[in-house]
Amino acid sequence: MSSAELSQSTPAALRRSGPIIAWQPALASLAWLMAGGLTRFYSDATRHWPLTDSLANAELAAAVAIAALALAGVRLPELNRRLRHASAWLIALGLLLALWELGTAKLALLPVPFFAPPQTLVAVYVNDWARLLDSLAHSALLLGTGVITGAACGFVAGVAMGWSSAVGYWLHPVLRILGPVPSTALLPLCFFLFPSSWSASVFLIALATWFPVTVLTWSGVTSVDKAYYDVARTLGAKPWFLIRRVAIPAAMPHVFVGVFMGLGASFSTLVVAEMMGVKSGIGWYLQWAQGWAAYANMYAALLLMAVCCSGLICALFKVRDRLLAWQKGTVKW
């Protein structure tokens, strides 16, 4: 096949992107290879940290995996595109891990135990996984109960405020009073009013979720084009039909934004609430780790919480994209 025919048979996107095997994945593989070599062959400064070899093996395996994906991307354009898109982050994470290892375990530039090397976090996940998993399960139950309760109440309140001026007259001052107050500021009062610390924590998480969902749902309902209502009324629609079939579907993008904001606020409330009167949970685990100066355990719990929060937000995006697929092209997300 001639070069002209080869050029015509190559997709335009790949021709514009330069060589078929891009240099970004190669740099990412090199960054992880450097991190693994540094971890394995550079001697520790003060003592030999546990699971150093295991961490080095994992970093070298990541370098090999990235290189293998880059080679597979030669025949799989979609894989090549996704890998090139993620290459910048892969390079940054490999370099950051190498700098973290160098500044803590290898050169001891950062004081121990306040700054733990990465292999100590691996040791926490290996040795203390049962307690972490139990804490995560309790936090998930508490967070899920509070977020679902707060989102449901906020959705109903927001729709009611947006649809009825009478409801808005009574609820709007409540929003103006409770909105600026952080949920954690009500912690002493809630522990006095509620029969258990668990119910008080659920209320605080629900309150942190309720406010943004209410405000964004209210804004979404009030911003619906009045022409939609006029057309539906012309066809004989009743008020309940207008709420279910016109107001709520048109306001759903705003509702999901409120849920995103409420989920972020609920995580911070969860950690503070679990530091008071509970015997398991991520917040309790953080307080226990701080009390024993086990900062590696604290960092491991924070990393686990960040991963879980990111996973929940990604799952929520997937749900939004599936439920609101019919609005693509008419609403900017």
What's the pTM?
0.80
Contact assessment for residue 70 and residue 62, using Cβ atoms and an 8 Å cutoff: no
pLDDT at 149: 94
Q: What are φ and ψ of residue 322, in 5° steps?
A: -75, -45
Determine if the peptide bond prior to 77 is cis (ω within 30°): no
- Identify the helix (H) or strand (E) that includes residue 30: helix 23-41
Q: Assign residue 48 a region: left if phi > 0, alpha if psi is -120 to 50, beta otherwise? A: beta
- What mean pLDDT is predicted for residues 164-191? 84
DSSP state of 17: T
| Res. 2 pLDDT band, cuts 50 70 90 | very low
| Mean pLDDT score, 66-75 | 90
3-state DSSP of 101-146: HHHHHHCCCCCCCCCCCHHHHHHHHHHCHHHHHHHHHHHHHHHHHH
Output the pLDDT for position 195. 84
The pair of structure tokens assigned to 265 is: 């606020």
User: Residue 17: pLDDT above 80?
Assistant: no
Tally the C-alpha atoms within 13 A of residue 83's C-alpha that lie toward its C-beta.
25
Looking at residue 327, its pLDDT comes to 67
Least confident of 57-66, 79-88, 190-199: 190-199
Domain spanning 129-327: which superfamily?
MetI-like (1.10.3720.10)
**Dist CA 99 CA 106 (whole Å):** 10
DSSP class of residue 22 equals -
pLDDT of residue 119: 93
Contact 207, 178 (CB under 8 A): yes
pLDDT band (50, 70, 90) for residue 182 = confident
Q: What is the pLDDT of residue 264?
A: 85
Q: How far apart are CA 333 and CA 322, in angstroms?
A: 13
Q: Look at residue 70 and tell me whether its pLDDT is greater than 50.
A: yes
Residues 83 and 26 sit within 8 Å (Cβ to Cβ): no
Residues of the chain with CATH 1.10.3720.10: 129-327
Mean pLDDT of 145-166: 92
Query: Cβ(96)–Cβ(69) under 8 Å?
Result: no
pLDDT at 289 over 60: yes
